[in-house]
């Protein structure tokens, strides 16, 4: 299966000689989630709800960022750049480093020190990127990237690069292709607010071209400790264990509000406890291992169910943005503590398992 730029080539205007840098990203599964649907119906009293998980953790570097990075890095090559640069809470840097390596570019990465999950950092290191951890948060890292980008010596591959969103819109295309129609509701985590913006671009494009008849309500969820859009103000010191959405000044703030308003959706927040509960529920009941930030979409859906914000017979898609293996520390911290170290002895093991 080809990557997203080849599969959806007719939705782009690049020519035959465009240098596509791809790891065959996209084509991720849309997994039915009956246990989540049952929980939604139980909490809301509504009937006929269908829930699907768009599991973006199965992209080549383990997050949806690959969809945008294939296009941004291909453009960087087409424009003759030798260096790409990004600020990152982790997944953007992993994707940039991978596609940068494949393209033969030098990848420069600025990270909020001590706030990047282990899996993401290890990826950037092995892909060979040059990495600076700053004593500061993501928003400050992005400010530095903007400064260095202004020198003209490096190509910025954060989502302020418009090609990123144009690549990420293919997530919406795939959802519609799999369902045969747009869903009624999309639930999605919101950090820098690029992905909610990109999905809305994709859903609108399919409806405008009459590939689908309707457009979904866009429901975005920030973490409570970094809920700038919900609170209508920048958060100077964003805090949440969902590090991928630990962003206090979202770059696509206005575009995300437009997606919300044009679609009749909402942007709300979920607490870290709600995020962890959804993270555990998905793993233990659906067998789906996403990272904590990704679970904000399902946490949002469960919150909306309690607030009577879901409708009878709705088809709902929750985007799970990244793979759980990215963040082994959280899995061990919040996973089932029923574990033991025992001698190699059948009787003792049987006793521990209560067999």
Ligand X SMILES: *Cc1c(COP(=O)(O)O)cnc(C)c1O
User: Smaller CB distance to ligand X: residue 247 or 316?
Assistant: 247
Using CB positions, name the residue nearest to ligand X.
322
CB of 292 to ligand X, least distance (A): 9
* Other beta carbons less than 10 A from residue 200's beta carbon: 27
The CA distance from 125 to 194, in Å, is 25
Q: Sort residue 132 into left (φ over 0), alpha (ψ -120 to 50) or beta.
A: beta
Positions 244 through 263 that interact with ligand X (CB under 6 A): 244-245
Interface stretch with ligand X, choices 171-179, 185-193, 330-338, 346-354 (CB under 6 A): 185-193
Q: How many CB atoms lie within 10 A of CB 61?
A: 27
From the list 170, 126, 156, 119, the residue with the least C-alpha distance to 289 is 119
- Looking at residue 63, the DSSP 8-state letter turns out to be B
Binding residues for ligand X, total number by CB under 6 A: 18
Tell me if 322 contacts ligand X by CB under 6 A: yes
Instruction: Measure Cα distances from 180 to 167, 175, 227, 234, 355 in Å.
Output: 21, 8, 34, 39, 47
Told to check if 157 binds ligand X by CB under 6 A, we report no
CB of 322 to ligand X, least distance (A): 3
Q: Is 240 in the site for ligand X (CB under 6 A)?
A: no
Tokens coding 311? 């409708």
Report the residue from 59, 93, 161, 195 that binds ligand X according to the rule CB under 6 A: 195
**Tokens 């985007």 belong to residue:** 319
Nearer to ligand X, 44 or 248 (CB): 248
Q: Is 189 in the site for ligand X (CB under 6 A)?
A: yes
Considering only residues 63 to 122 of the shown chain, the ones binding ligand X according to CB under 6 A are: 63, 65, 91
Cβ-contact 301, 316 below 8 angstroms: yes
Q: How far is the CB of 241 from ligand X (least distance, A)?
A: 13
From 7-15, 142-150, 211-219, 287-295, give the range in contact with ligand X by CB under 6 A.
287-295
- Which residues on adjacent β-strands are paired with residue 53? 31, 318
Residue 142 sits in the site that holds ligand X (CB under 6 A): no
Q: 108 with 84: CB under 8 angstroms?
A: yes
First-to-final CA distance of the chain: 46
3-state DSSP assignment of residue 83:
strand
Asked if residue 202 binds ligand X (CB under 6 A), the reply is no
Q: Which of 194, 202, 216, 324 binds ligand X (CB under 6 A)?
A: 194
* 321 counts as binding ligand X under rule CB under 6 A: yes
Chain residues binding ligand X by CB under 6 A are 63, 65, 91, 159, 189-195, 244-245, 291, 293-294, 321-322
């Amino acid at each position: 299966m080809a990557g997203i730029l080849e599969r959806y080539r007719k939705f782009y205007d690049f020519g035959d000689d465009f240098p596509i840098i791809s790891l065959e990203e996209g084509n991720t599964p849309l997994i039915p989630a009956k246990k989540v649907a049952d929980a939604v119906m139980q909490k809301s009293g509504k009937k006929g709800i269908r829930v699907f998980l768009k599991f973006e953790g199965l992209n080549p570097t383990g997050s949806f960022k690959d969809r945008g990075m294939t296009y941004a890095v291909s453009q960087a090559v087409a424009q003759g750049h030798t260096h790409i640069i990004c600020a990152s809470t982790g997944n953007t840097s992993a994707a940039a480093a991978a596609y940068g390596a494949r393209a033969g570019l030098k990848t420069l990465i600025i990270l909020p020190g001590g706030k990047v999950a282990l899996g993401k950092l290890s990826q950037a290191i092995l892909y060979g990127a040059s990495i600076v951890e700053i004593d500061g948060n993501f928003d400050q890292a992005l400010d530095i990237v903007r400064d260095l980008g202004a020198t003209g010596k490096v190509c910025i591959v954060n989502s302020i690069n418009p090609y990123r969103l144009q690549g990420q819109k293919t997530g919406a295309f795939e959802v519609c292709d799999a369902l045969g129609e747009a869903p009624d509701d999309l639930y999605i985590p919101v950090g820098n607010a690029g992905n909610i913006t990109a999905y809305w671009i994709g859903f609108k494009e399919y409806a405008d071209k009459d590939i689908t008849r309707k457009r979904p309500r866009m429901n975005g969820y920030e973490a409570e400790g970094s809920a700038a859009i919900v609170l209508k103000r920048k958060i100077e010191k964003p805090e949440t264990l969902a590090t991928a959405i630990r962003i206090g000044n979202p770059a696509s703030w206005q575009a995300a509000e437009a997606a919300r308003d044009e679609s009749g959706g909402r942007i709300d927040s979920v607490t870290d406890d709600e995020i962890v509960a959804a993270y555990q529920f998905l793993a233990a009941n659906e067998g789906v291992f996403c990272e904590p930030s990704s679970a904000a979409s399902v946490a949002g859906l469960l919150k909306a169910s309690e607030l009577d914000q879901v409708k009878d017979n709705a088809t709902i898609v929750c985007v799970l943005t990244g793979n759980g293996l990215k963040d082994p520390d959280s899995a061990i911290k919040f996973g089932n503590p029923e574990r033991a170290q025992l001698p190699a002895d059948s009787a003792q093991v049987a006793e521990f398992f209560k067999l």
